[in-house]
Amino acid sequence: MTEQQANDGYQYLIPVDDYLKAGIHIGTKFKTESMKPFIYKIRPDGLAVMDVQKIDERIRAAINLMGQFAPEDIIIACRRENGWKALKKFTELTDIRGFPGRYPPGILTNTQLETFTEAKLILVTDPFPDRNAIKDALRVGIPVIALCDTNNKIKDLDLAVPCNNKGKKSLGLMFWTVARGYLKARGKINSDLDFKAKVEDFAPE
């Protein structure tokens, strides 16, 4: 991202420097065709760098979509261990149901299970390790939001949010930003200043 991009009048959800410090824009050396539109440049070491404004725009879109649903109508799956702390804090603040670790297969589709859950929207941290959750969502026909790195495929997703979905700090900042936005969208807080949780609460020390 260039200085011009950071100062072109676009209003970011959080300061651009906060995104950069968390490495939310640093992708992988592998790039799928579907993620190329979100890539700004390739570093000399081969890592793809995602466009911070496009990341911010998609986070905003995710918040707007999630804000249309009550907490009990949303579930979040996160098989990747680096996101467990962030997800647990997120669920604590929003009352949205989260599944850190192994996603219980069939909870959306098998009414005979004691763990059967009805949902209207699902968010996954990574489409590959969380693919079973996506399959369940497709079977019952509910929208899927997914955090996607440059190596992810976005087939079967309703909304892909480009970001570093592997780093602890990146995931912590992502869940912090979405939690604040969701609570505002649902009328639980009136402004950003009412959100007292810190990014450090979401990311490991």
Measure the CA–CA gap between 58 and 103, rounded to whole angstroms: 25
CB atoms within 10 A of CB 201: 17
From the number of C-beta atoms within 10 Å of its C-beta (0-12, 13-18, 19+), residue 7 rates as exposed
Confidence at residue 3, expressed as pLDDT on a 0 to 100 scale: 36
Confidence at residue 2, expressed as pLDDT on a 0 to 100 scale: 43
Confidence at residue 205, expressed as pLDDT on a 0 to 100 scale: 65
The predicted-structure confidence for 34-86, as pLDDT tens digits, reads as follows: 999 999 999 999 999 999 999 999 999 999 999 999 999 999 999 999 999 99
How far, in whole angstroms, is CA 95 from its chain's centroid? 16
Measure the CA–CA gap between 183 and 61, rounded to whole angstroms: 15
* Superfamily (CATH H level) for 3-201: Glucose-6-phosphate isomerase like protein; domain 1 (3.40.50.10490)
Q: Which residues of 90-109 are buried (b: 16+ CB within 10 A; e: fewer)?
A: bbebbebbbbbeebbebbbe
Confidence at residue 17, expressed as pLDDT on a 0 to 100 scale: 97
The yes-or-no verdict on residue 7 having pLDDT over 70 is no
Beta bridge partners of 159: 145
The predicted-structure confidence for 162-177, as pLDDT tens digits, reads as follows: 999 999 999 999 999 9
Residue 89 makes CB contacts below 8 A (sequence gap 6+) with 175, 179, 197, 201, 202
Reported pTM: 0.94
Distances (CA, A) of 92 to 10, 36, 97, 175, 176: 31, 35, 9, 12, 12
The predicted-structure confidence for 80-136, as pLDDT tens digits, reads as follows: 999 999 999 999 999 999 999 999 888 999 999 888 999 999 999 999 999 999 999
